[in-house]
Amino acid sequence: MCGCTSGMNGTIFDIKRFAIHDGPGIRTTVFLKGCLLRCLWCHNPESQKIEHEILFIPDKCIGCGWCFKNCPKHAHKMEDGKHVLHREECIRCGVCAEKCYAGAIEVIGREATVGQVIEEVLMDKPFYDNSGGGMTVSGGEPMFQPEFTAALLSEAKKHGLHTCLDTCGFAAWKYYAAVMDNVDLFLFDLKETDPEKHQETTGVLLEPILETLKRLDDAGKQIYLRCPLIPGFNDRDEHIKKIAEIAISLKNLLEIDLISYHPLGQAKLEHIGMKDKLGISKFANREQTEKFYAKLEKLTNIQVKIN
Amino acid sequence: MNYTQRIKNLREAKLRQTSEKLEKLGTRDEDDYGCVIPPEDFKWQPPVQDTNGSFSGARAWGRNFRSLMENHPIYIDPNDALAGRWMFMLSRMRKGYKLELSNFAFDYSHLKPNQLKYDITCGIGKDAHFAPDYKIGLQLGWGGLLSKVKASMEKYGHDPVARELLEAEEDAILGIQNWIARTAKAAKTMVLQERNPVLRENLRQMVAINTKLVAQAPENLREVCQWLAWFNMASRTYNRDGAGGQLDELLRPYYEKDKAAGIINDDDAEFFIACLLLNDPHYYQLGGPDKNGKDQTSPISYLILEAAAKLKTSCNLTIRVHDDMDRKLFRRGVEILLIDKLGYPRFSGDKALVEGFMKNGFSRELARERIATGCNWMSLPGLEYTLNDVVKINIAKVFEVAFYENMKKSPSLENLEELFIQHFETAVETVAEGLDFHLEHQYLNEPELLLNFLSHGPIEKGLDVSHGGAEFYNMALDGAGLATVADSFAAIEQRIVKEQCLTWQNLRENLANDFTTSNGEEVRLMLAASEKFGQGDSLGDKWALRLTEILKDKVADRTTSLGRRMIPGWFSWADTVRFGKNVSATPDGRKDGMPISHGANPRPGCRRDNALTAMAQAIARVQPGYGNTAPWQLELDIGLVKHPAAVDIVMALMQTHFDLGGTLININIVDSKKILEAHKDPQAHPNLIVRVTGFSAYFSSLSKEFRQLVVDRIIEKTV
């Protein structure tokens, strides 16, 4: 073993250059696939499972028939003049997407080595240097692929990049301990502060998340709290007060980002064969977000931003 | 009646005039010039006309211009610090005028077959498009210029060509002086009628200033602004012109003197400048290094920016970004851009421009003085004749010729590339011959009577600037359609050569039939989904670099037969629609007659994440690099503007583009919703200003096709 990790494979679902909402400056955000949480409002539902998924947008189909002919399971069918994907038969092999030039079918998720990802990330290095930006690892949940995440961050550091890790905090501490030295800033998601509601809406316990947050803070790591505001779910005064309490308790918190909910993730659900459990299609109320913003600033005296 | 109120009144008047222009003249895909509609009862015909109703030659231009000036309606707004508005373009009053094809009294039909074959905008008969040195005029005034013309007449009176030119120059000055004198007289009458004491005093000063400026040189800031406005208006009236200069440095000595003498304060200065910017959207540069590399930013650079910010009309200010600049000017420029969302200021990159121009054999000192004074162009004020932005080869058309020739026998990618190079070379040769033809005849067709005054040489030598009067001849030649052709080569390489999922014959059939064959749409989408320029390390990027090499190889480091240098650039101006109409379907999936790609930009939507960093790099890499530009037409979404660190991000984005070799950035701040609404109903948003290419204009004044183009860029539709 040479200890070189640049050949390590991970599953990513996107790399976004010119990311300006995922930490300071101009950044490239690497989105890893797979997450333990099942937040009802997830804006990237296609990132939840680690397996590849088939995204199918019937409206884009031009009826060329390639997928009908080439699907090994005949999961694509024309029924009553409509192109239908029978997901129960689909084995997610991705053959159908290979020649879907209309963009109706896509495979979500691809394997990439650390070296390949870093090569793409380094393309924008001059912009990071001029803006104080760098690389952000996000997801999904990066800690769903802890070794790959650690290798990415370590490699980025070798190239002198500023690094952010966007995490929900729900992973074994040893994984955080392993990456900590290679992360300049943690973008820490705090979705719900009521333990019961947290479990109800995200599927996991709140306590270990708060524990991770505290330990990162105790370790002296710089933190931004990222708090999504979901209409009808967590847009409560008590939640904001609780965020403020947590924020005040942290020694290394630099900023709180209030993230206004947008229903675009819900629109994607149908295209990947999932059901909408949230049932809201409205955007977060701007006025209310600004009210919470003012409240948080007043209560914490910490920089608050609306993203 | 304070300055804020007066600017508001002036701005409202400007909006009314813009609506009136739209109503009377229809849509126009050009700058929003400062002109106004003449009174309805105004009638004028050029007194000197050829039998065909057009006119040419110095004598005719001089006489006609003088007559137009002597009859030009007077315009005075008591709110304005400056008198006058222009109303006509003499060059467009020649019978048979077309924007895309200038009148030309000499037969160049021998060049036309190739010009048509390669869709060349040849520049023959085109006017202006180089920059004046205003300092000449500010030092001499109209009286001094007249004396200079007369002195030259003494010297060259024996030479009939020089004599005709200089007599015409005299006519031009006499006409302008008449216009100014009549305006001063009219202002005098208005003083008696004006009831508002502030405006009455303003009119009184207007009388004094303009009475003086008939012959004398300006001596204070307001007089300088008025003199510049007179020259600009006269030059617009003569032949559209529009080039500006280093405005901060032109005004600074007068501003400093007036302030030191206690004649004006900054509010006065800002108001005078606002009136100058309102008078006409000429192209001015701010900041940048002087010839020794010292930053030229001064308090008046900021006043100019703030004046524009107060005015909020169409403006063409460019901030030159360089290593030793005052970063505060850069920052303030970006702030105004993001707050006002009116497409100004623009930003140019000093490093690449200077180093590029030096490759033509010029000194660093001179290269630093070559400034942004036009849509895409750089020019040495008063020293250079360039035909900037009016000489172009539609390389999509060159590609089309090469493609069908390649199909005649056993087609191959190598053969296609070779044919493209051969045809491009022939196209460049045709342009070079055309430039020589223009330079041999233009003085007999349309001498530059106005810009000659502010050039170093023409009056002194008795030679028109197009005919040996200028110090340097650096003829611009731009390629248009870069992404269309790069993506077409890439699609062929990917689908036919590498993947072998399409045959040459099938491609030909689909292109010839505009993708209407039974599987046409499928083939089109497959081609359109090929690797594109702008994605980063894609086949499209490879071909864009290759095309840039070809452009440089065939255009730079060579001269025309008459020894005139040519400088390459990538720019399509507002001609993407017109060029597109002349090109059938292309292998990038573009359909017959659709617009070609814009300037040096990749196709909108070439990357799913629309990463501006990727675009910044792609465009920086395809800079021809000889001192002319390949501008980045940057559409910034309104969402970015709301980002708390928007100013820093945009500054870093632009700075990096310049670090990587970028030359010029034209920016639009795009509120997609507003633009889409305005596209449906232009009159619903009469104040909406967009930067179309190098120029900005009221969206409502653009033709439907051009509005569509702006809309397409914005919604990032792929072909």
In the block, tokens 């583009």 appear at B657
Average pLDDT score over residue span A216-229 = 97
Q: How confident is the model at residue A3 (pLDDT cuts 50, 70, 90)?
A: low
Q: What share of chain A is helix, strand, coil (3-state, %, to 5)?
A: 35, 25, 40
**Residues 29-68, chain A: which have Cβ within 8 Å of B?**
62, 64
Q: What share of chain B is helix, strand, coil (3-state, %, to 5)?
A: 55, 10, 40
Which tens digit of pLDDT belongs to each residue from B271-280? 999 999 999 9
**Residues 132-151, chain A: which have Cβ within 8 Å of B?**
133
Instruction: Tell me the percentage of chain A whose pLDDT exceeds 70.
Output: 98
Which of A26, A99, A101 has its CB closest to that of B613?
Answer: A26
**Residues 659-698, chain B: which have Cβ within 8 Å of A?**
659-660
Q: How confident is the model at residue B174 (pLDDT cuts 50, 70, 90)?
A: very high
Q: Which of A15, A68, A131, A259 to mutate to test the interface with B (most CBs of B within 10 A)?
A: A131
User: Within 10 A of B496 (CB to CB), how many other CB atoms are there?
Assistant: 20
pLDDT at position A275: 84
Q: Is B263 on the interface with A (CB under 8 A)?
A: no
Average pLDDT score over residue span B408-429 = 98
In the block, tokens 């034209």 appear at B666
pLDDT at position B693: 65
Residues of chain A found within 8 Å of residue B519, distances taken between Cβ atoms: 64
Q: How confident is the model at residue B576 (pLDDT cuts 50, 70, 90)?
A: very high
pLDDT at position B718: 33
The CA-based diameter of chain B, rounded to the nearest angstrom, is 84
Min Cα separation B635/chain A (Å): 14
Min Cα separation A206/chain B (Å): 30
∠ CA B616-B620-B625, nearest 5°, is 160
Which tens digit of pLDDT belongs to each residue from B673-704? 888 888 888 777 777 877 776 667 778 777 77
pLDDT at position B674: 82
Q: Is B656 within 8 Å of A64 when comparing Cβ atoms?
A: no
Query: Cα–chain-centroid distance for residue B503?
Result: 43
Which of A15, A124, A130 has its CB closest to that of B655?
Answer: A130
Which tens digit of pLDDT belongs to each residue from B76-98? 999 999 999 999 999 999 998 88
Q: List the beta bridge partners of residue B599.
A: none
Nearest in space to B484 (alpha carbons), one of B557, B390, B587: B587
Instruction: Tell me the percentage of chain B whose pLDDT exceeds 70.
Output: 98
Average pLDDT score over residue span B317-332 = 97
More confident residue, A275 or B353: B353
* Residue A268 phi, psi dihedral angles, 5° rounding: -75, -25
Q: Is A17 within 8 Å of B613 when comparing Cβ atoms?
A: yes
The residues, any chain, with a CB within 8 Å of residue B120's CB and separated by 6 or more, are B114, B392, B393, B394, B427, B430, B431, B434
pLDDT at position B694: 62
As for the ipTM of the complex, it is 0.94
Which of A18, A21, A129 has its CB closest to that of B611?
Answer: A18
pLDDT at position A281: 66
Structure tokens at B455: 């050039």
Least confident residue range of A34-48, B326-340, B583-597: A34-48
Contact B697, B707 (CB under 8 A): no
Q: Which of A127, A259, A262 to mutate to test the interface with B (most CBs of B within 10 A)?
A: A127
Q: Is A101 on the interface with B (CB under 8 A)?
A: yes
Q: How confident is the model at residue A269 (pLDDT cuts 50, 70, 90)?
A: confident
Q: Is B525 within 8 Å of A62 when comparing Cβ atoms?
A: yes
More confident residue, B480 or B701: B480
Beta strands in B330-397 (DSSP E): 346-349, 371-372, 378-379, 384-385, 392-394
User: Within 10 A of B617 (CB to CB), how many other CB atoms are there?
Assistant: 23
Is the pLDDT at B186 greater than 90, yes or no?
A: yes
Least confident residue range of B15-29, B131-145, B166-180, B632-646: B15-29
Average pLDDT score over residue span B508-521 = 96
Least confident residue range of A109-113, B572-576, B673-677: B673-677
Q: List the beta bridge partners of residue A108.
A: A53
Is the pLDDT at B338 greater than 80, yes or no?
A: yes
**Residues 597-626, chain B: which have Cβ within 8 Å of A?**
607, 609-614, 616-617
Whether cis (ω within 30° of 0) applies to the bond prior to B624 is no
Q: Which residue of B has its CA nearest to A127?
A: B656
Least confident residue range of B15-24, B384-393, B433-442: B15-24
Structure tokens at B237: 């009236």
Q: Is B649 within 8 Å of A131 when comparing Cβ atoms?
A: yes
Average pLDDT score over residue span A25-50 = 94
Report the C-alpha gap between B603 and B527 in whole angstroms.
14
B427: helix, strand or coil: helix
* Residue A16 phi, psi dihedral angles, 5° rounding: -110, 115
Q: Which of B526, B541, B656 to mutate to test the interface with A (most CBs of A within 10 A)?
A: B656
Instruction: Tell me the percentage of chain B whose pLDDT exceeds 90.
Output: 84
Which of A16, A18, A131 has its CB closest to that of B648?
Answer: A131
Which of B521, B536, B659 has its CB closest to that of A62?
Answer: B521
User: Within 10 A of B98 (CB to CB), how many other CB atoms are there?
Assistant: 8
CA distances A115 to A7, A155, A161, A175, Å, are: 6, 8, 14, 21
Whether cis (ω within 30° of 0) applies to the bond prior to B244 is no
Mean pLDDT of chain B: 94
Q: Say if pTM beats, i.e. exceeds, 0.90.
A: yes
A230: helix, strand or coil: coil
Contact B354, B366 (CB under 8 A): no
pLDDT at position B719: 31
How is residue A145 annotated by DSSP? Answer: S
Is the pLDDT at B717 greater than 50, yes or no?
A: no
Contact B246, B296 (CB under 8 A): yes
Nearest in space to A179 (alpha carbons), one of A226, A147, A208, A141: A147
Which tens digit of pLDDT belongs to each residue from A161-197? 999 999 999 999 999 999 999 999 999 999 999 999 9
pLDDT at position B677: 83
Contact B423, B119 (CB under 8 A): no
